[in-house]
Every structure is written in C-alpha cells, then in structure tokens.
Structure 1
Amino acid sequence: MEMKNKHCVFCKIVNKEAPSNIIYEDELICCFLDIDPINEGHVLIVPKEHYHDVDELDDETLLRITKLSTKLTKVIKKAFNPDGYTIMQNGGIFTDFGHYHMHIFPRYIDDEFGWTCKELDNKNSLDSVKEKIKVILDREL
C-alpha cells in the first residue's frame, strides 16, 4: 500500500489532479461516476490510499467502503428504479487500473450484462473445492 501512485488515475482523481464526477468523499474514501458505465448511475468507490486488492485494505477503510455501498444501493434504487443492482470488484491481475475499487450499478432485465459460467463435472468436484477452501480458511481464522 502506498499513499499515492503518480501513475494511477484513481490516485489522481482522489487528489483532484484529474477530472471526475465525485459524488461523495471523506478522509478515507472517494466515490465518483464511472466514465464508461454499464448503466446510468454506475459508481466506483475507491480508497484514497493506493491499495491493489481488497485483502490489503485496513479494517476501517473496508468498513467505510462497505457501509457506503449499502447507502449507494438505496440511492441507486430511488434514483433509477432498476430491476436490481450489482456490487462487484476484481482482484489480482484483474484489478484494472491497479487500484482497488468497488463497482455499484443499477441492473435491468434487458441490459445484457453478465458472464458465462463453467459447469463443474460433478458433486465430487464441489466436495473437493469445499475441502480445499475450508482447510485454508480454518487456518486463517
């Protein structure tokens, strides 16, 4: 984690060095409209400090992001009357921009947003995956 990355567009936004449409900010987080929205009302929540992944966030920042996501969901429902909403984040090499961020956007039945899912071979595969995760989770907790 770094305070600021001079090449990061999100660091530039939170430091007012790049144009944006900020709708909320406090000392830990900044929320602004996505410039390439899935649907109207698509917002991003970013920590003001430069973190790459969710598992790097300190507890206070994580809690602040989570609480704001709940409030923004209510606002999006009132403002856009969607059929639903999506809250998502990517990690690792899929953290486009290299700065942790959470997406929140309204969803509509015909918006065509989605992804494809691979079918698992059988129940044994699920049991194997469950055990693999549980062993590590039990050690981490």
Structure 2
Amino acid sequence: MSDCIFCKIANGEMPSVKIWEDEKFLAILDINPNTEGMTLVLPKEHFDSDAFLMSEKDYLELMLASKKISEIIKKGLNVNRVAMVMEGMGVNHVHIKLYPLYGIEKEFEEIWTKEKVFFKEYQGYISTQLGPQANIEDLKKIAEEIKNNQ
C-alpha cells in the first residue's frame, strides 16, 4: 500500500534500524520504544493489521519469524525473556511487538503488581495487569454469550 509506513520501511523508502531480515520479514527497533530494544516484526508484504485474518500459513510464518527474533534479542541484550504482543492497532499493517523483559531471572517466578486495571473500551493500549476479581456468575454469562454467538 502506497501510504503504509511499514510498507515504505520494508521497501527501503523510509529509514529504520533493522536487527534482522529475511526474504519475507524484517525486524526493526521501534522508533517510540517504551523499553530499550523494543522490536517490531513485520512482513514485507502488506497484510491487514488484524493478524487473525491472515492465512494459517502466513500467520505461522510470522510467529516463527518472531520466535527466531526473540532468541536474537535474548542473546543480544542478555535478557531471559521476551514478551510478545499482537495488538493490531496504530498501523494498519500486521506486526508483532517484542519487548525485552529486563530484570527477569532464568528460573520462573510469579511477578504481580498491586494495582488492578479494567477497561470497558479500548484506550489506545493494552495491559497485562490483572483486573479486579470477577464474579463467577458474570463470567458464566459472558461465556454463554460467546458460545451462543459462534
């Protein structure tokens, strides 16, 4: 697409800082990172930003490229974990955001925040923080709605 910033980056029409590239995908450092080394993985071909609209083949290839890049980030930045987000907002070109998780030990440990969040509507970002504990009856109603509208 001629007006897509990620297509322009993939075609070399706009500058970026690449950390990895193959014939189908590239990984660039985010120009607006919220942590050092935040990386975007994007296909060179334009796809709608809703990753779940991709063919299974293209989707799996994107996931495998992201996995490969996460290993590169782990080694390159000496981190033990990398988080992955597929929000599908901001730029209408499918992409995966990879976040190096600094300060995480090799062995798994539970890490929780005290603050709870809950959003009725999309706020321009997502959060992995837990919300307040839901009522089981409310959850059952939501489950029924999902099941009945498949």
TM-score (norm 1): 0.75
Contact 2:42 2:96 in 1 (8 A): yes
Tell me, in whole angstroms, the C-alpha distance in 1 between the residues paired with 2:68 and 2:147: 32
2:72 corresponds to: 75
Count of residues paired in the alignment? 128
Contact 1:47 1:101 in 2 (8 A): yes
User: Is the helix fraction higher in 1 or 2?
Assistant: 1
Structure 1: 5+ residue runs without aligned partners? none
Q: Which amino acid aligns with 2:99?
A: F
1:102 aligns with one of 93, 96, 101:
96
Tell me, in whole angstroms, the C-alpha distance in 2 between the residues paired with 1:73 and 1:132: 36
Query: Is 2:53 the counterpart of 1:40?
Result: no
CA shift digits 1:32-84 (9 cap, x unpaired)? 11111222221111122222211222222211111122122222222223363
How far 1:88 moved relative to its partner? 0.2
1:26 corresponds to: 22
How far 1:121 moved relative to its partner? 4.2
Tell me, in whole angstroms, the C-alpha distance in 1 between the residues paired with 2:74 and 2:148: 39
Q: Which amino acid aligns with 1:34?
A: D
How far 1:86 moved relative to its partner? 1.3
Q: Which amino acid aligns with 1:62?
A: Y
1:122 corresponds to: 135
| Partner SS for 1:86 | strand
| Partner SS for 1:70 | helix
Report the identity percentage: 33
Tell me, in whole angstroms, the C-alpha distance in 2 between the residues paired with 1:104 and 1:57: 19
Runs of 4 or more off by more than 4 Å in structure 1? none
Structure 2: 5+ residue runs without aligned partners? 105-112, 114-125
| Partner SS for 1:73 | helix
| Partner SS for 1:10 | helix
Q: Which amino acid aligns with 2:145?
A: K
More moved, 6-15 vs 61-70: 61-70
